[in-house]
């Protein structure tokens, strides 16, 4: 029998350590899983423009970091937005390095003024009726400088933009598989996350109404906002499910933006944000997928709500919140990550980095079920030596003499009884006008065609498979880019 190489064995050990912590148990050591974005460019000698506009350089930068640092897991490309794709569609809401901002500054999201919001206050009914159709007919022409609006004449550049962006998206997503393989085989490093999720309320705020517009809508038409969140939820779940780890090991990445106090009031969280997000999380867990709650900002007000979720269904990442409080509130049920000051990693002294590492190990890692990471994504202001000092300290002192690790192949899935007890999204999905995954239903298409005597199931299957490509394109434009 062929013996595994040193790199293969390292990968198995790291993956096992990571999965054990995800299961809210105590591995042999604290897993180190830094969310390094533009930091990788700085380390590899690239500009922000290079890793944002050329994803092959972004992949190479991640691999260089993974080879040189003793990390257990990384994101295959934390500089996720590929501006080659966003420029192909000429999206308005990006500040692109080297064009709109300096070449060595990270890409920026640019929210339009309230009067130029990508969705108007009187358009909720159209969004609720068919979210996918609304995205194609109303939202896309407004966010792109080249896609004409309904009623405007088609243009050569607009048609070409749609075709080349669709091909580019497929090319980019398909490149992640080889990148994961490269990290495993060359670096012995596990993938940190797989898949993407955003909350319905955050999508309304980030990409549709804008924060100011949604704030006004919560006062003037809160029921329409709630119905819109309910209409979006099955589609956002579908995006998360279809991009999740088929091996049920790496959690789905969930980026939490504007659903916490003070962006919303506690009452608004309870009436709108949480009831339209919680069923999505339950449905993902019912199907065996954990979700990483990447809680940007301070979510201390809402820890009690998160504790309602099934045991092990989430991993809670602390940014500006109280790490010790999160451990007290959630630690019996969920693994925690993060909590290390980005400011100290960027500008602190060696002693300050060491003191921060000691604090975090004491507050969150004593009994296991903690993953070491900074509070927020690390950009190119993070000091290379400080991150190396942190890594070395955690590796030396974050050891559990009595810890254990599950086999690397272990899946993070719910107990059968727990899964059966979850309601999830079943009822809401059945109420949607067009089910998630297609743009035009097969039933509508069949009414347009003469009845023939061939195999109807064959026609339906292929129709829905190809429809799924068009569906994925627009929803990833919304959620991923």
pTM (two decimals): 0.95
Measured CA to CA, the distance from residue 129 to residue 208 in angstroms comes to 15
Cα atoms found within 13 Å of the Cα of residue 426, Cβ hemisphere only? 7
pLDDT surpasses 70 at 167: yes
Contact 476, 169 (CB under 8 A): yes
Average pLDDT over residues 411-439: 77
Helices (H), 244-302: 266-268, 274-286
Q: In the beta sheet, which residues pair with residue 415?
A: none
331 within 8 A of 369, measured Cβ to Cβ: yes
pLDDT of 2 reads: 59
Instruction: With residue 134 as reference, give the H or E element that holds it.
Output: helix 131-134
3-state secondary structure 334-386: CEEEECECHHHHHHCCHHHHHHHHHHHHHHHCCCCCEEECECCCECCCCCHHH
Whether cis (ω within 30° of 0) applies to the bond prior to 262 is: yes
| Lowest pLDDT segment from 309-318, 347-356, 432-441 | 432-441
Cα of 30 vs its chain's centroid, Å: 23
Q: What is the pLDDT of residues 233-257, one digit of tens each?
A: 999 999 999 999 999 999 999 999 8
pLDDT > 60? residue 429: no
Residue 158, strand partner residues: none
CATH 3.40.50.920 assigned to domain 6-479? The reply is no
Report the DSSP pairing between strands 190-191 and 196-197.
Answer: unpaired
199-217 pLDDT, tens digit per residue, is: 999 999 999 999 999 999 9
C-alpha distance from residue 14 to each of 10, 76, 207, 364 (Å): 6, 15, 37, 20
Query: Hey, what are 362's tokens?
Result: 């004491």
Asked if residue 52 lies in contact with residue 402, where contact means CB atoms within 8 angstroms, the answer is no
Q: How far is CA 323 from CA 297, 300, 346, in A?
A: 12, 9, 20
Q: What is the pLDDT of residue 434?
A: 84
How much is the pLDDT for 85? 96
- Alpha-carbon distance of 204 to 119, in angstroms, equals 9
Write down the residue that tokens 């979720």 correspond to: 309
Dihedral Cα 273, 229, 198, 312, nearest 10 deg = 60
DSSP structural state of residue 121: T
419 or 341, which is more confident: 341
d(CA 299, CA 322): 9
Give dist(CA 95, CA 254) in Å, integer.
23
pLDDT band, very low/low/confident/very high, at 427 (cuts 50, 70, 90): low
Q: Angle 180-50-164 (CA atoms, 0-180°, nearest 5)?
A: 75
Beta strands in 106-172 (DSSP E): 108-109
Q: What percent of the chain is modeled with pLDDT above 90?
A: 90
Kindly tell me if the per-residue pLDDT of 409 is higher than 90.
no
- What is the pLDDT at residue 1? 52
pLDDT at 430 over 80: no
Domain ranges of the chain: 6-479
Count of other CB atoms within 10 angstroms of residue 114: 14
Q: Which of 221, 200, 203 is nearest to 211 (CA)?
A: 203
Mean pLDDT estimate for the chain: 95
Is the pLDDT confidence value at 229 over 60?
Answer: yes
Q: Residue 19 to residues 191, 195, 263, 266: CA-CA distances in angstroms?
A: 11, 17, 33, 33
Lowest-pLDDT range of 3-17, 91-105, 293-307: 3-17
Please give the C-alpha separations between residue 340 and each of 139, 209, 294, 317, 364, in angstroms, as whole numbers.
Answer: 38, 33, 14, 11, 11
The pLDDT-based confidence of 18 (bands split at 50, 70, 90) is very high
The answer on pLDDT for 464 being more than 90 is yes
Contacts 24+ apart (CB under 8 A), 297-302: 297/256, 297/260, 297/263, 297/321, 298/260, 298/261, 299/256, 299/260, 300/325, 300/326, 301/260, 301/261, 301/266, 301/269, 302/259, 302/260, 302/261, 302/269, 302/274
Q: Quote the percentage of the chain above a pLDDT of 70.
A: 98
Phi-psi bin for 427: left (phi > 0), alpha (psi -120 to 50), beta?
Answer: alpha
Rounded to an integer, the average pLDDT of 424-451 is 81
pLDDT confidence tier of residue 412, bands split at 50, 70 and 90: confident
**Per-residue pLDDT, 135:** 98
């Amino acid at each position: 029998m062929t013996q595994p190489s040193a790199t293969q064995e390292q990968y198995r050990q790291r993956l096992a350590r990571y999965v054990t912590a995800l299961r809210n148990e105590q591995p042999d050591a604290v897993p180190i899983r830094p969310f390094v974005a533009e930091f990788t460019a700085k380390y590899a000698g690239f500009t922000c423009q290079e890793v944002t506009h050329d994803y092959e350089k972004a992949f190479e930068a991640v691999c260089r970091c993974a080879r040189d640092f003793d990390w257990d897991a990384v994101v295959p490309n934390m500089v996720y937005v590929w501006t080659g794709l966003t420029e192909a569609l000429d999206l308005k809401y990006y500040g692109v390095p080297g064009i709109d901002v300096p070449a060595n500054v990270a890409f920026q999201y640019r929210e339009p003024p309230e009067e130029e919001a990508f969705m108007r206050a009187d358009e909720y009914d159209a969004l609720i009726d068919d979210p996918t159709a609304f995205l194609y007919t109303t939202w896309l022409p407004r966010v792109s400088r080249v896609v004409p609006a309904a009623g405007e004449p088609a243009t050569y550049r607009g048609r070409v933009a749609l075709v080349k962006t669709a091909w580019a998206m497929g090319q980019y997503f398909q490149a992640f598989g080889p990148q994961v393989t490269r990290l495993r085989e060359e670096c012995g490093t596990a993938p940190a996350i797989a898949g993407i999720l955003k909350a319905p309320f955050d999508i309304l705020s980030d990409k549709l109404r804008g924060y100011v517009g949604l704030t006004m809508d919560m006062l003037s038409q809160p029921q329409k906002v709630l119905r819109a969140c309910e209409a979006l939820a099955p589609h956002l779940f579908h995006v998360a499910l279809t991009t999740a780890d088929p091996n049920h090991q790496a959690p789905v990445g969930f980026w939490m933006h504007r659903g916490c106090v003070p962006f919303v009031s506690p009452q608004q969280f309870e009436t709108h944000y949480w009831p339209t997000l919680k069923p999505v999380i339950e449905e993902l867990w019912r199907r065996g997928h954990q979700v990483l709650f990447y809680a940007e900002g301070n979510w201390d007000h809402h820890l009690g709500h998160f504790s309602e979720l099934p045991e092990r269904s989430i991993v809670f990442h602390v940014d500006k919140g109280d790490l010790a409080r999160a451990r007290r509130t959630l630690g019996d049920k969920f693994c925690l990550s993060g909590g290390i000051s980005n400011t100290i990693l960027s500008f602190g002294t060696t002693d300050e980095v060491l003191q921060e590492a000691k604090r975090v190990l004491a507050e969150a890692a004593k009994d296991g079920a903690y993953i070491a990471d900074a509070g927020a994504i690390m950009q190119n202001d993070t000091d290379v030596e400080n991150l190396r000092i942190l890594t070395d300290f955690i590796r030396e002192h974050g050891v559990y003499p009595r810890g254990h690790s599950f086999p690397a192949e272990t899946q993070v899935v719910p107990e059968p009884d727990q899964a059966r007890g979850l309601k999830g999204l079943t009822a809401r999905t059945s109420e949607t006008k067009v089910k998630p995954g297609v743009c035009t239903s097969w039933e509508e298409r069949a009414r347009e065609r003469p009845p023939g005597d061939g195999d109807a199931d064959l026609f339906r299957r292929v129709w829905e498979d190809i429809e799924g490509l068009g569906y994925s394109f627009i929803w990833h434009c919304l959620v991923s880019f």
